[in-house]
Amino acid sequence: MNLDFTDEDRAFRADVRTFLAEALPDDLRRKMVERRHLAKEDIVRWQRILNARGWAVPAWPVEWGGQPWTPTQRYIFQEEMALAHAPEGSPFNVNMIGPVIARFGTEEQKRRFLPRIANIDDWWCQGFSEPGAGSDLAALKTSAVRDGDDYVLNGQKIWTTQAQYADWMFALVRTDNTGKKQQGITFLLLEMKSPGITVRPIPSIDGISDLNEVFFDNVRVPVANRIGEEGRGWDYAKHLLGHERSGIARIGLSKERLAQLRQLRADLAARGMLTAAEQARLDRKLAEVAVELRALELTQLRVVAADAAGGGAAGAASILKIKGTELQQRMTELTLELAGPAGLGVPDHHGEGDGTDGWRAAAPLFYFTMRKVSIFGGSNEIQKNIIAKTMLGL
């Protein structure tokens, strides 16, 4: 046993680091450091820089722009991206619909969509959840009825992130009501400008309106835009949700945030804004976070190594998700505590911050919005149910 990365992996890390240092635009980096909301253009711009380097979609099949990286290298890449304050790209394009089309799409669909997905020529959103179908996703009701070469959709999606930007949606719809509820589900690709689609924004607690309701009123979707077979959508969706786990715990992101917390603490102390008792307590809390993060890092590396060797335990992703999100949330609590009541008045979170102290206004909003990470992508309660079942046999 040893903890050393191979020479190859180290060289790889150095390459990634050099590239990021040169390629990441300064204004984007600053926005990321200050936790400001990224505009669509910001994400697209960065994705295209990565795409030009061939690194926009490393986990995809090589013929569609992927890289032949090992799980360890994918892990290193993610970590370096986070440490460099690089934006993450659109998860819907990169981690969700791309891999599904690459695996289950027709040749025609691959040629038509994949290059545009990788370059975000099309922005995609995820139409899975419905008012009655959250954790119980298979309860979804939006109906798709076959009419000639089209499906006709009626119903509603909700919590559709960034539907307001989207050119396309990948959606789960019901084509059959008769059998088990997982069986009548079909996976469709639909154009957001199709007649009969209405998008209503839902403001969220950080003041940003990235969530939406999407209503379908007799929306026609060509059968050619179906993924795979009718009624098999559940299988494709499961593939999408369990696709990639080398980055689930988001170690790099948490490392970067911990470093920033240390920086903020030092800054406030230097300005005489922290008592000695506060400094001591903060240092202890930061040490606790550092220990938790290290334990999670090693656990994530064990999973990466097991996957590289041909497959680790099924429930491991759930452990990484729960512990990773708890840690991210814990760090937002510490930033909130550092900001104190000065964070109460919120200057322009969306525009230019007021330099050094913009983070204090952003801290509470970030704390609020980060409650989402234990809710979406399978809530932490659902993840515990999975662990109990798959790993403990309960």
Partner 1 sequence: MDFDLTEEQRLLSETVSRFVADRYDFHSRLKAMAEERGYSRAIWDQMADLGLLGLPFAEGDGGFGGGGVETMLVMEALGRGLVVEPYAGAVLMAGGALRLAGSPAQKAARLEGIIAGQYLMALAHSEPDGPRHTVDQLRTRGVVDGDGWRLTGAKTAVIAGDSTDELIVSAVTPGGVTLFLVDPQADGIAVQGRSGYDGCRVADVRLDGVWAPANAVLGGVGSGSATLTRLFEEVTAALVAEAVGIMTDALNTTVDYLKTRSQFGVAIGSFQALQHRAVDMMMQVELARSMAILAALSLEMPAVERRLNIAAAKAKIGQAARFVGQQAVQLHGAIGLTLEYKIGHAFKRLTAIDALLGDADHHLDVIAEAGGLPAIG
CA distance 25 to 40: 15
160 binds, among ligand FAD, partner 1, none (CB under 5 to 8 A by kind): ligand FAD
Contacts with ligand FAD in 197-256 (CB under 6 A)?
A: 211
Among 8, 27, 121, 136, binds partner 1 (CB under 8 A): 136
Under the criterion CB under 6 A, does residue 382 sit at the interface with ligand FAD?
yes
Name the amino acid, one letter, at 336.
L
Point out which span in 14-22, 120-128, 179-187, 324-332 binds ligand FAD (CB under 6 A). 120-128
CA distance 168 to 5: 40
Minimum CB–partner distance for residue 67 and partner 1 (Å): 34
Q: Is 89 helix (H, G, I), strand (E, B) or coil?
A: coil
Whether the Cβ atoms of residue 282 and residue 338 lie closer than 8 Å to each other: yes
**Nearest residue to the partner ligand FAD, using Cβ:** 134
Tokens for 80, please give them. 């370096």
Under the criterion CB under 6 A, does residue 372 sit at the interface with ligand FAD?
yes
Minimum CB–partner distance for residue 160 and ligand FAD (Å): 5
Among 65, 184, 324, 343, binds partner 1 (CB under 8 A): 343
Distances (CA, A) of 309 to 70, 71, 167, 239: 10, 10, 39, 20
Among 364, 383, 386, 387, binds partner 1 (CB under 8 A): 364
Strands 150-158 and 143-147, bridge-based pairing = antiparallel
CA distance 74 to 54: 14
User: Annotated catalytic, 326?
Assistant: no
Among 95, 142, 160, 325, binds ligand FAD (CB under 6 A): 160
Contacts with ligand FAD in 123-152 (CB under 6 A)?
A: 125-129, 134-135
Nearer to ligand FAD, 20 or 189 (CB): 189
Nearer to partner 1, 146 or 281 (CB): 281
128 binds, among partner 1, ligand FAD, none (CB under 5 to 8 A by kind): ligand FAD
3-state secondary structure 155-167: EEEECCCCCCCCC
Strands 197-202 and 185-191, bridge-based pairing = unpaired
Tokens for 365, please give them. 């909003």
Smallest CA-to-CA distance from 93 within 158, 162, 16, 192 is with 162
Rg (CA), the chain: 22
Among 308, 313, 375, 391, binds ligand FAD (CB under 6 A): 375
Question: Catalytic: which of 244, 256, 278, 288?
Answer: 244
Beta partners for 186?
173
Whether the Cβ atoms of residue 66 and residue 59 lie closer than 8 Å to each other: yes
| Type and span of the H or E element at 214 | strand 211-222
Instruction: Please compute, for residue 21, the number of CA atoms within 13 A of its CA located in the half-sphere on the CB side.
Output: 6
Point out which span in 235-243, 255-263, 301-309, 372-380 binds partner 1 (CB under 8 A). 372-380
109 binds, among partner 1, ligand FAD, none (CB under 5 to 8 A by kind): none
Under the criterion CB under 6 A, does residue 381 sit at the interface with ligand FAD?
yes
Minimum CB–partner distance for residue 202 and ligand FAD (Å): 10
Contacts with partner 1 in 201-260 (CB under 8 A)?
A: 202-205, 207, 211
Distances (CA, A) of 53 to 5, 15, 46, 65: 24, 12, 11, 10
CA distance 187 to 144: 10
- Which residues contact ligand FAD by CB under 6 A? 125-129, 134-135, 159-161, 211, 372, 375-376, 379, 381-382, 385
- Which residues contact partner 1 by CB under 8 A? 129, 132, 134-136, 139, 158-159, 202-205, 207, 211, 271, 273-275, 277-278, 281, 333, 336-337, 340-347, 357, 364-365, 367-369, 371-372, 374-376, 379-381, 384-385
Catalytic residues: 244
